[in-house]
Every structure is written in C-alpha cells, then in structure tokens.
Amino acid sequence: MGIDSFPKFRIYIKKEYQAKRARNPKYSMRAFARDLDFKPTVLSDILKGRYGISVSKAKQLTKKFQWTEEQSDYFCDLVEYQHGRSSTRRQTALKRLQSKGANYLTIDRSQYEVITHWQYFAILQLTLLKDYQDNANWIADQLGLRVPVVKLCLEQLKLLNLLVQNQDGRWIAAANNTVSQKHIGNSIHQFQESIFQIEAKSFTTTPKELRHFANLVVALDNSRINEFKKIITRFCLDLNENASQGNLKNEVYCFTVGLFPLSKSQ
C-alpha cells in the first residue's frame, strides 16, 4: 500500500474549514489561518500542496480541531509519512498507517450541528420528487420559504457534501448519506423546536384529508421506557422504508412522534 493509497493530510484541514464555513458563510480563509496560527499565504500554499507541515504543528492543529487521540495519531502519521525528513520515520509511519487502513480517519460529525432547522431535511427530500427543479426559486415556493434562506441552506448542504451533482449537473441528495440525531448533536433541541412550530401551523392550515394527527395519554411502567423507545424506533424505520419505495413521489411530509411524562415521577 503506497503513498497514493492514503488521503493527503491537507484534505482534513479543508474539511475543518468547510465545517466552519457551513456554520458561518462569512467565515473566511484568512480568519481560518488566523485561528490556526498561520499566515494566510502559508496556509494557502499548504492547502495547495506546495508545502508540508511538521508533526509538532500537526499535533497543534488536532488540538485546535478537538479531535480524539486516535484521530490525532492517524493525522500525525499521515503528515510524517508524506512529509517526514527521515526515511526511517516515514517508513515507521507507513507501517502504522497500513495497520489501520487507507480510510481510517473519520472526522467528527460536529459540523452537522449547522443543520438546526427542518428546511435542510426538506430540501434534501425535495430532490427525490419526480418533478424536482434544481433552483432556489422553485424550492422556496414549495416550502414557503424566502429565496435568500433557501440559497443559504443550499450552500451549507453543499459544503457538507449532503448535496452532490449528478451526471446531468443537477444538485441532488447524496446517496447513502443519512443525517440522524447523532449528527445533529447538541442542536437537536433547536431542530425539534422548529418541527413543533411547523406542526402547529400545519394543524390549522393543512386540509384534514392531507394530514393526520394522533395522540395517546396512557399510564405505564417507566422502567420499560427503553422498550417503548425501541418500539417507536422500529416503527419509524418501517415507515421510512415503506415511504421510500416507488418512483412516483410527489410530496414531502413530516412524521413526528414523542413520548414524555405528564405526571411527576414516583
């Protein structure tokens, strides 16, 4: 397994920049360089492959990126193997890399915390409709959003590689790229609040024949809560699989379910 079998270390630096840009579109490469203690021109040359970095600098970067020790070690081995001055050190780093594989390093998905509102998921699902149109005006009209809001969402989804271009050049949802609660992380509360808001609106604005709301208030044994959670999860997965079948999709829906106590715990 040669050097071309392993990703260039700079790819992971670029991903960190993309994650910051996704959170704040005004975040510049100059600001990124400042945060990493680089001169802008030096960082630019590093990202273009003109220069490497030292292992000590690599360790400093992983601390700034808040990576795990395992991720840090792998990244430093990439740097050592690709730019180490000593042949012995390069070969030693290669052996450590080979023991882990070419695609070992997975950057923490905290960048997905930018996705804090329902519209990001709705846009991804819109790309699956048979009459989908790849333009911000159509998407805004379908979802009842302002065009500038849609354009910002599109930019962030592209930065996160959740929207990719197909052979025809149209931007569509990336295949097998599911965003779940673990990706949203601490922003799950904001996401849920945004869902509650549109759910309440739909109750009064959507015709009854196009919606369904069901609620249940029940006494139960709260020591079985995990059992009930698994039942709900299985149901959601089954519903998703059922809805995903066929090629005649013409509408994006939202399905919500919750389980919470109304009384004080005994």
**pLDDT, one tens digit for every residue, the chain (266 residues):** 444 456 788 888 987 887 777 667 788 999 999 999 999 999 999 998 898 999 999 999 999 988 888 888 889 999 999 888 888 988 998 888 887 655 455 444 545 556 778 898 899 999 999 999 999 999 999 999 999 889 888 887 887 777 888 888 889 887 655 555 544 555 567 778 888 889 999 999 999 999 999 999 999 999 999 999 999 989 988 998 898 888 889 999 999 999 999 998 76
Say what the pLDDT of residue 164 is. 84
Q: Whose CA is closest to 162, among 114, 196, 129?
A: 114
Say what the pLDDT of residue 7 is. 74
- The CA distance from 192 to 217, in Å, is 21
Say what the pLDDT of residue 3 is. 45
The distance between the two most distant Cα atoms of the chain, rounded to a whole number of Å, is: 72
Residue 134's Cβ-count burial label (10 Å; 0-12, 13-18, 19+) is middle
Which residue shows structure tokens 């592209």? 158
Say what the pLDDT of residue 2 is. 46
Say what the pLDDT of residue 132 is. 94
Say what the pLDDT of residue 22 is. 66
- DSSP class per residue in 94-160: HHHHHHH-TT-----GGGGGG--SHHHHHHHHHTTSTT---SHHHHHHHHT--HHHHHHHHHHHHHT
Q: What domains appear along the chain, each with residue ranges and CATH number?
A: 3-107 (no CATH), 112-243 (1.10.10.10)
Say what the pLDDT of residue 266 is. 61
Say what the pLDDT of residue 12 is. 85
Tell me the β-bridge partners of 172: 164
Say what the pLDDT of residue 94 is. 87
Residues 6+ apart with CB under 8 A from 24: none
H or E, element range at 75? helix 69-83
Single pTM value for the model: 0.59
- The CA distance from 253 to 77, in Å, is 46
Residue 210's Cβ-count burial label (10 Å; 0-12, 13-18, 19+) is exposed
Distance of CA 47 to the CA centre of its chain: 22
